[in-house]
Every structure is written in structure tokens, then in C-alpha cells.
Amino acid sequence: MAGRLGEAMTTSALTFYGSTIGKKVAMAVSGLVVVGWLVLHMLGNVTIFAGREAVNKYAAILADNPPLLWGQRLVVLAALGTHVHAALSLLAHNANARPVAYNRRKDLATNYAALTMKYGGFTLLAYVLYHLAHLTLGVTGAPFVKGDVYNNLVLGFQNPAIAGFYVIAQCALALHLFHGIWSLTQTLGVEHPKYNALRKQVALVLTGVIVCGFLSIPLAVQAGLLQPEMEGTDVLQIATDETEEGSQP
């Protein structure tokens, strides 16, 4: 009986997800998970302004607690996978619904953020992959010492190209977040003329807090407000890593 009930629930869930409204709900719920994670991630990152010890301690708490580290990674990965799959499925559905484009199109209710959601999404995907390569795997060529989040961030963002890419990515994130927060509240039923102005304000404030938090780090590094804090062993480790990379064919 339990097995049949489980199969029925799975079938119902897959059937619901296969519908347009199901994919929209999946995008909304997964987007809500990602927004919550972004808030926590941003708050952890800005501890860099409290100094090297503070941000490295924050990173060490995660690194020394594999269930916590991998638990949040798997949740975010599942949310991102669901979000991307649902978004691509809806794009394909919309394209198939109207294979011939409008001769003349005028978007009345769609704002600039909505128009750039598709392209901003691909930009953010590229940013996530680079971010992992830069600060998790340390394979982008920027100075990297495992566990030294402070210097990895500061030394990386001292490169104008890396800092510039992060700034561009945050601009894309701002557009995506604002429209995404507005849309997910609508999809989840929080829509009423009485509350729409508040929804917009919440989307603006939450987007501003998250993006400004992330932007503050590369901008502070470029302005010289954050400087490397290295001991002799750190300098030796970075020099050794760069020598090994340079010697590779």
C-alpha cells in the first residue's frame, strides 16, 4: 500500500511539473531557495570587512562541517538545476506556441528586467561556473591558497579584469533578482492591487541589499580599502603554486 501511494504521489508530482503552471511553480519555489541562499552567502562574504581572521573562520566552520557544507551545496544545486530546467522548458514551450514571430511587438507590461531574464540567466550561469573555478577550485590562474578566503578574494579582485567580470555579473544578478522576486511572489499567489506596490518595494530592497553586499568586496579591493594580509608562509605558498602552474606544459 505504501509503495503504491508513493508511486501515485510521484506520478502526480511529475504530471504537475509537466504542465506550464507546474514549471512556473517549480521556478518560483527553487528561486525562493536560491534567494535565501544568496542572502546567507552574502552575509558570510561581507565578514571580510571584519578582517582576515573573521572571514576565514566563517569559511572554516563550513569546511570543517561536511554535512552542513555538502547539505547546502546539494540543496542549492538541486534548486538551480530545477530553476534552469524549468526556465528552458518554458522558453521552448513559448517558442513552439508561436513559431512565427510577431511582425510588430510592443511590450506594455514587460519591463527591461523581464526582457533580459533569458540572457541574464546565461550570464549568471557563466558567473557561477567561473566563481567555483576561482574561489573553490583555484584553477583560474589567480593567486590561491586553500582555506585562505580573505587573500584569495583580495588578490583575485586586485586584477581589474576579474573584478570587472564580477561587477558585470552582479548587474545581471540585479536585473534577474528584481524581476524574479516580483514574479515568484505572483506565482505563489501574493498578488493583489493592495499589495503590489509593497511587492515591488520588497523586490527592490532585497535585490539592492544582496547585490550591494556582493559588489562591495571587488569595489573595496579596487579602491584599496581591502589589502592582502599575508605572512611569510602565505607568500611562499602562492609563489610555489604560481611556479608549479608556470612549469606545466
Considering the domain boundaries, does residue 11 fall inside one?
no
pLDDT at position 18 is 79
Nearest Cα neighbor of 216 from 31, 60, 57, 50 is: 50
Considering the domain boundaries, does residue 171 fall inside one?
yes
Question: Does the pLDDT of residue 210 top 70, yes or no?
Answer: yes
pTM: 0.80
Q: Which long-range contacts (CB under 8 A, 24 or more apart) does 238-247 make?
A: 238/143, 238/144, 238/145, 238/155, 241/138, 241/143, 241/144, 241/145, 242/143, 245/141
pLDDT at position 115 is 59
Highest mean pLDDT among 4-8, 138-142, 154-158: 154-158
Considering the domain boundaries, does residue 123 fall inside one?
yes
What CATH code is carried by the domain that includes residue 163?
Answer: 1.20.1300.10
Nearest Cα neighbor of 123 from 188, 58, 171, 184 is: 171
> Following CA atoms 113, 173, 118, 75 in sequence, which dihedral angle do they give, to the nearest 10 degrees?
-130
Considering the domain boundaries, does residue 14 fall inside one?
no
Q: Which residues of 149-167 are buried (b: 16+ CB within 10 A; e: fewer)?
A: bbbbbbbbbbbeebbebbe
The amino acid occupying position 43 is L
Considering the domain boundaries, does residue 29 fall inside one?
yes
Q: Which domain holds residue 32?
A: 21-100+113-247
pLDDT at position 236 is 44
When pLDDT is cut at 50, 70 and 90, the band that residue 8 belongs to is low
Considering the domain boundaries, does residue 108 fall inside one?
no
What distance in Å separates the CA atoms of residue 102 and residue 234, rounded to the nearest whole number?
60
- Total structural domains within the chain: 1
When pLDDT is cut at 50, 70 and 90, the band that residue 246 belongs to is very low
pLDDT at position 109 is 39
Nearest Cα neighbor of 147 from 46, 52, 246 is: 52
pLDDT at position 3 is 61
What residue spans of 133-159 are helical by DSSP H?
Answer: 149-157
> Following CA atoms 225, 69, 209, 206 in sequence, which dihedral angle do they give, to the nearest 10 degrees?
170
Considering the domain boundaries, does residue 143 fall inside one?
yes
pLDDT at position 234 is 53
Question: Does the pLDDT of residue 108 top 80, yes or no?
Answer: no
What residue spans of 46-116 are helical by DSSP H?
Answer: 52-63, 66-97, 112-115
pLDDT at position 9 is 64
Considering the domain boundaries, does residue 223 fall inside one?
yes
Question: Does the pLDDT of residue 131 top 80, yes or no?
Answer: yes
Question: pLDDT for 48-62, tens place per residue?
Answer: 999 999 999 999 999
